[in-house]
Amino acid sequence: MPLNKSPSSFRSIRVYRLVDPGRLISNKESIHAALFGFRAPSGNGELFSVHPTSGYLFYSNYSYDEGRGDGGGLPPTSKDVERIAKGFLEVGNKRIVASPKLRQAGVPPLFPTDLRPVSIGVVGGGRTSSRPHWICIFSAFLAAGIDRTARVEGATIEVRVGNRGKVIGLNSRWRPVLGDLLTGELNDEASPADFHTRSPMEIVQPPTFSVSLPAKPAASQGTVLHLHNGGGALPAPHVHSNELDEVGQELVYNLPDDREAVSFLVPMRLSIGGHHGTLTPASRHSLSVEIFERASSGSLELMADVRGGSGKFRYAWGWSEIDDFIRTNEQRLGSSAAVRLTPGSRHVTVKVLDLLTGVSATCERMVVALGGDQ
């Protein structure tokens, strides 16, 4: 296919490769030591876990609530807490990088560098079982190109800070990044050829970029929930106008559910409308899949509606009875773009792997297949 567009109309965007959660799990003790100074939780009200699928980190020192061992007061202001929380995450990253064992194991820095506070405040005390402490919640942003960043949808990092600025809790819904690559950006869904190539060797130029880019927000800005000390409801969170482009779309990197294993973090466009937002691919690597149902005589046909990617896909369908435990009894359903279900209620999953890029996407839903005419 001839290259008939000017080079200036081609725009690149970043895709991020994620670490295998298995590396985090197998180095759990060393990670705990790097973050908290001890190889293992004390077992005295301390808990540290790594989610087996997502690699999300969770730490909590419940002994703080019993008032053990630490006097002193809470940091006085939210600015102090933000500084402490960010400092903890930065130092944690440095220790991870400096650890020969973790470097050799291929464990990258655990936290993103572009963190923006969303909410900072005090919780606990009084009727609750928790002692008062601060909670600082960050959203994560990634560089999408040389002059712009994008929010990571679904990623939050919460740091809880107790007396004397001690970190007593960490909830990191984030998947550490191994590296990144550049790919072509998609900005117009009207051309199916932009989504699929006819061969692995074909280069398809995207059309001229037609939507104004948001101005790059400064790293210190964020969408902070401002808290009031009066009664009554708070105003809606302030949204910076430059977070959305002119057509109400936001460029994001989409982190899936905890239970979905993914290897890449890809850019998507979040379009706002109706009761929810919809995500559409924003790059040649981006991929999403939905399950579309169609009744046919005596059965139900399920089709994988794939958006984005190269067009060279591998499908893996699985199902389990709804009153059966999902993971242990999932059965294979097929490996093509469409499968049939006989009557019954089932939990169905389809995983699509792009054979050219290695990006995968999963959709799972419950399906009721009726007999006869549905």
Chain residues 13-72 in contact with another protein, contact rule CB under 8 A: 45, 47, 49, 58, 60, 62
Which one of the spans 174-182, 184-192, 206-214, 238-246 is the region binding another protein (CB under 8 A)? 238-246
Among 9, 42, 44, 77, binds another protein (CB under 8 A): 77
Say whether residue 293 binds another protein (CB under 8 A).
yes
Say whether residue 274 binds another protein (CB under 8 A).
yes
Say whether residue 126 binds another protein (CB under 8 A).
yes
Q: Which amino acid is at 16?
A: Y
Query: 362 near 330, Cβ under 8 Å?
Result: no
Say whether residue 272 binds another protein (CB under 8 A).
yes
Query: 310 near 355, Cβ under 8 Å?
Result: yes
Q: Which is nearer to another protein, 27 or 288 (CB)?
A: 288
Among 37, 69, 236, 372, binds another protein (CB under 8 A): 236
CB 143 to another protein: min, Å: 21
Distances, alpha carbon 96 to alpha carbons 26, 28, 105, 221, in Å? 14, 12, 11, 27
Among 322, 338, 355, 370, binds another protein (CB under 8 A): 322
CB 215 to another protein: min, Å: 17
Which one of the spans 192-200, 210-218, 243-251, 334-342 is the region binding another protein (CB under 8 A)? 243-251
Q: How many chain residues bind another protein (CB under 8 A)?
A: 81
Which one of the spans 15-23, 197-205, 212-220, 362-370 is the region binding another protein (CB under 8 A)? 362-370
Query: 24 near 55, Cβ under 8 Å?
Result: yes
Say whether residue 7 binds another protein (CB under 8 A).
no
Q: Which is nearer to another protein, 227 or 355 (CB)?
A: 227
CB neighbour class for 266 (10 Å; exposed up to 12, middle 13-18, buried from 19): buried
CB 128 to another protein: min, Å: 5
CB 83 to another protein: min, Å: 15
- Per-state percent for the chain, helix, strand, coil, to nearest 5: 15, 40, 45
Among 292, 296, 336, 358, binds another protein (CB under 8 A): 292
Among 10, 11, 25, 74, binds another protein (CB under 8 A): 74
Q: Which is nearer to another protein, 102 or 115 (CB)?
A: 115
Phi and psi of 81, rounded to 5°? -65, -40
Phi and psi of 2, rounded to 5°? -70, 150
Going by the DSSP 8-state scheme, the letter that residue 100 receives in this structure is H
How far, in Å, CA of 338 to CA of 333, rounded? 10
Closest CA to 175 of 280, 354, 51: 51
Q: Which is nearer to another protein, 220 or 328 (CB)?
A: 328
CB 232 to another protein: min, Å: 6
CB 203 to another protein: min, Å: 29
Among 72, 106, 237, 358, binds another protein (CB under 8 A): 237
Closest CA to 255 of 179, 180, 337, 150: 150
Site string for another protein, 208-227 (x = CB under 8 A): -----------------x-x
Q: Which is nearer to another protein, 237 or 358 (CB)?
A: 237
3-state SS, 154-197, equals EEEEEEEECHHHCEEEEEEECCCEEEEEEEEECCCCCCHHHCCC
Crossing angle for the helix pair 28-36 and 78-98, to the nearest 10 degrees:
130
How far, in Å, CA of 265 to CA of 11, rounded? 18
Window 186-205: residues binding another protein (CB under 8 A): none
Closest CA to 184 of 155, 165, 163, 208: 208
Window 147-166: residues binding another protein (CB under 8 A): 153-154, 156, 158, 160
Alpha helices in 14-129 (DSSP H): 21-26, 28-36, 78-98, 100-104
Say whether residue 275 binds another protein (CB under 8 A).
yes
Say whether residue 303 binds another protein (CB under 8 A).
yes
